[in-house]
Amino acid sequence: MIDLFSANTPNGKKISIMLEEINYDYKVVKVDLNKGEQFRPEFKKISPLSKIPVITDNENNKTIFESGAILIYLAERSGKFYDKNNRTKINQWLMAQMGYIGPMLGQHHQFHHYNPGKSKFGEERYFKISKRIYQELDEVLSKSKFLSCDDYTIADIGTFPWIARHEWHDIGLKSFKNLTRWYLEISERPAVKKGFSFMDKNELPPKP
Ligand SMILES: N[C@@H](CCC(=O)N[C@@H](CS)C(=O)NCC(=O)O)C(=O)O
């Protein structure tokens, strides 16, 4: 049994999707970010940067923070979605998600979705970068079925919930044929549907 400390965000959804994909038993502990629960001293003990997601593996008492590290941990533990033969490629795309795709789309959410009109520079900068990310992912997905290879891996699991915020991005996912094909295929996975709705039973990945 895994305890998943989380909130209903793309980083949070990565881990519920992974736990559903590997069919692990887990209990969700909600951390209300709007109420500042991430700063509580007992939470900081397991998350030194005061961020979700975090997991505790009750079988061995290990606690892991940082969604990329959690995905790797669960992939190694379950032996799924992290094929040894493709590991370097999977790592590349997982790191690209962690260091670039997620943070840039996250800034786009801040300027374009939550705070429009506050900074023309910020809005334009992250809109442009986000469009570029869509274009680049589309190109990659014209050459392989999934991001790192022709198999579905933790790199796809990490990236999917970010693209699932496409309505906020206002970029027009539909015009990116390969990215849309990838997005729709992942959206249809039963474990993805279940993991996506881990905090809101009625929530489904929005259609392009
Ligand atoms: N690099 C971290 C980022 C996690 C992250 O940014 N979590 C956000 C929610 S999506 C959070 O907990 N924010 C609360 C805060 O920073 O106060 C990861 O991937 O786990």
| Residue whose CA lies nearest to ligand 1 atom number 1 | 66
Look at residue 106 in the predicted model and tell me its pLDDT.
98
Q: Quick one: pLDDT band at residue 73, thresholds 50, 70, 90? A: very high
Asked whether 52 lines ligand 1 (CB < 6 A), one says yes
Nearest CA to ligand 1 atom 15: 51
Q: In angstroms, rounded to a whole number, what is the distance separating the alpha carbons of residues 80 and 97? A: 19
CA of 30 to the centre of ligand 1 (A): 14
pLDDT category at 139 given cuts 50, 70, 90 is very high
Q: For residues 14 and 6, give the distance between their C-alpha atoms in angstroms, rounded to a whole number.
A: 10
- Write out pLDDT tens, residues 142-164: 999 999 999 999 999 999 999 99
Pocket of ligand 1 contains residue 51 by CB under 6 Å: yes
Question: How sure is the predictor about 7, in pLDDT bands with cuts at 50, 70 and 90?
Answer: very high
Assign 59 to helix, strand or coil: coil
User: pLDDT, tens digit, for every residue of 195-204?
Assistant: 999 999 999 9
**Cβ(47) to ligand 1 under 6 A?**
no
Sign of CA dihedral 174, 179, 181, 184: negative
Q: 6 alpha carbon to ligand 1 midpoint, in Å?
A: 10
Q: What's the average model confidence in pLDDT over 24-39?
A: 98
| C-alpha of residue 54 to centroid of ligand 1, in Å | 10
Q: Are 123 and 111 in contact (CB under 8 A)?
A: yes
Ligand 1 atom showing the smallest separation from residue 10 Cα? 10
In this prediction, residue 39 carries a pLDDT of: 98
Closest residue to atom 9 of ligand 1, CA basis = 52
Ligand 1 atom with the smallest distance to the CA of 68 is 19
Give residue 78's pLDDT. Answer: 98
Residue 144 near residue 153 (C-beta atoms within 8 A): no
Q: Per-residue confidence at 120, pLDDT binned at 50, 70, 90?
A: very high
Measured distance CA(119)–CA(187) in Å, rounded: 33
The finding on whether 38 has its CB within 6 A of some atom of ligand 1 is yes
Ligand 1 contact, 67 CB (< 6 A): yes
Average pLDDT of 51-62?
98
**Cα(52) to centroid of ligand 1, in Å?**
5
Residue 5: predicted pLDDT: 98
Q: At 93, is the pLDDT very low, low, confident or very high (cuts 50, 70, 90)?
A: very high
14 CB within 6 A, ligand 1: no
Q: Which pLDDT does position 1 carry in this prediction?
A: 93
Sorting pLDDT into bands at 50, 70 and 90, what band is 182? very high
Long-range contacts of 143-146 (CB under 8 A, 24+ apart): 145/182, 146/182
Please provide the average confidence, as pLDDT, over all residues in the chain: 98
